[in-house]
Amino acid sequence: MQPTGKVIGVTGAASGIGRALVERFAREGARALVAIDRDGDGARATAARIGERCTAMAVDVAVERQLVDAIDQIEREVGAIDLFCSNAGIVVEGGVETPEAEWQRTWAVNLMSHVYAARALVPRMLARGGGYLLQTASAAGLLSQIGSATYSVTKHGAVAFAEWLSITYGDAGLKVSVLCPQAVRTPMIRGTQEGGVAGVDGVIEPEQVADAVIEGLADERFLILPHPQVLEYFRRKGADYDRWLRGMRRLQERYTGGR
């Protein structure tokens, strides 16, 4: 899949990976782009960097009606969406004591926003003979997230949902990729020391993630891994789960003192 000539929507586009994706898709010759974010001013700032090919929409992706209305508007006023990037995400520190409201908000943004987009787009894409969904999860969705139960659980869910979509609709023309980076220099890691535990293999720039996305889309790979080490960790996890868990406990001790 090449972005050239395509209509592309990107959520979480006010900053970080989302903004980098919009800018890179523009350079690759996308016909029209829509920068979507709860932060409307940030989305408009992203669109302004691109010019008339890019429009901005203020949308809370955790609210299904808002996201569906946005998709309807894009398809009505801009054109049929070829590629939709569900990229918005949040992280909340904490374990089982995390308040219910924080669990629900994280669940809605990190997982259900993918479901809402798919509900709106999959039937249309299948009717058109195909389409592409890029869903941003995290290396935490393949491995885990020390220090955040909500992030780990919801990102695992995002990976599982992307798998299900690919299995269920892949032979009908729907293409799905899931983006699973470790630490990226975005507002999400602000205030951490070099990305915290997620930065164990270094913090990369959003533009490097966008490069990996372009390569992954060109190959139509399901897993897009800007940090290549993640694949080896994933293999080790599958090969010996108990050994991997022991290693993760050691990593937790290193970064948190066992807290």
Domain presence at residue 197: yes
**pLDDT tens figures, 111-131:** 999 999 999 999 999 999 999
132 is catalytic: no
State the total domains in the chain. 1
Supply the pLDDT for residue 63.
98
Strand order in the sheet with 174-179: 54-58, 32-37, 7-11, 83-86, 131-136, 174-179, 223-224
Q: Which residues, 6+ apart, have CB-to-CB distance to 130 below 8 Å?
A: 173, 174, 175
- Domain hosting 147: range is 7-230
Q: What pTM was estimated for this model as a whole?
A: 0.93
Residue 38 CA: distances (Å) to CA of 44, 117, 126, 211 = 11, 15, 28, 25
Domain presence at residue 238: no
Domain presence at residue 151: yes
The catalytically annotated residue of 116, 132, 151, 169 is 151
- Domain with 80 in it: what CATH number? 3.40.50.720
Supply the pLDDT for residue 189.
65
The two structure tokens encoding residue 52 = 């008339």
How far is it, in rounded angstroms, from Cα 22 to Cα 209?
Answer: 12
Domain presence at residue 143: yes
Lowest mean pLDDT among 52-56, 164-168, 216-220, 249-253: 249-253
Domain presence at residue 80: yes
